[in-house]
Structure 1
């Protein structure tokens, strides 16, 4: 029977997971360097969890400084089967109020200062990002967030900006015109890298503010974000526990979206032309597709 091993990436305000049994920390190194912090291993029931605070404990890393490649590689190397990211975000639509959660299913990537792929240097791959989250895992995440008392929106577009500054008023209005629902600084390239590592990915965006497009209100500041974040984070931690409890005793089957084997249709470089050094490095995240 295949078991679930959940990788939980904690964003702003979420630096711990409650109720972990057999808790231990592991300092790891990947072919792409060290992740944001030590991995925290534990279990809830028979479901294993691997927790990683995206910004490091104490929130040491800005969005542009997060080692996204190392974070995803570390989770893959730890045996994680599915990744849930929990992230603070701003609302770009009236319907998404501070305190709400959004299980985003689409992204627009406006980041520009981050490594966005594991591939290159003599080994090219083009994964599909048409549907960037795992439909099954995203629905599970939305279900447990609702079960612990959150108001949840299912499906929506998350625009990822570089940061670390918040949007200008003109940018905020532009993103609304594009039809974006929330804005954040971290889901990209995280979701792209998870796909390249054949890891089903879902994100719960915790809405903390209305960005700055609501001109009748005070523009977003760290102070007002922190107030809402404290409430959201408590629900986020409860949702993770509930998710593990729901999955305990159940068999994990491959993602219905084909994510577990997506590299079968993505590798393009002929075997004779592949850089051996790059292939050696890539085995950490793509060993199945590369043959061990």
Structure 2
């Protein structure tokens, strides 16, 4: 009879696999963090409701959680909540995708030539320093007031961040690993494809998570400038009528949309980088 059977018969359970123990510890930590977050959120909402219930001026200025919930229900019933969320979500996704594809490709390609990267660096900084809202009138003149202008605003909000993060990941690759591949006869393209790109994925996905919010901001700003639907339009219209609880209701939907998109980016990251699950 082998050692495992002897341990079982003697009442001694086999040792817990380290990986399973690590997963259980991670689940316990996640549950504690989630419980703490819900407690903080619940306390904040309770305090907010209490303060606005006893102060009419505060209720007008900040709304109340109950009034915000009522507007969310009302907007869901008339369909405007889902319609506006869909429109803004589509603009955000398209701008997010286009901006990250362009920015990541340019950022990674700059690894090929440090001379070119030094030449374009001040131009990248100059473009990145322009407030996106300052470009809105020009974007409307160029692309009109339809969907294309919102996608362009979202793309411009994303592309520089994606370029910088991907370039940072590319130039941060260990030089010893690059030299090792060169001594083994690898071409520059092989080094780029098999070493630089995989090693840059951590920075690229960090940039993707960051640019979700930037893409959403660009879409919202575009809707502020000219639109007849979308969460930005709902916020602007409610704000112009001083319906503060409805403004916050649209903001809640915007936050929920951002959280869903960030969650999806995290899922893609775990799919393309399975080794990160074990970290």
Structure with the greater alpha carbon radius of gyration: 2
Task: State the TM-score bracket (shorter-chain normalisation).
Answer: under 0.3
TM-score between the two structures when normalised by the length of structure 1: 0.21
RCO comparison, higher one (Cα < 8 Å, 6+): 1
More helix by share: 2
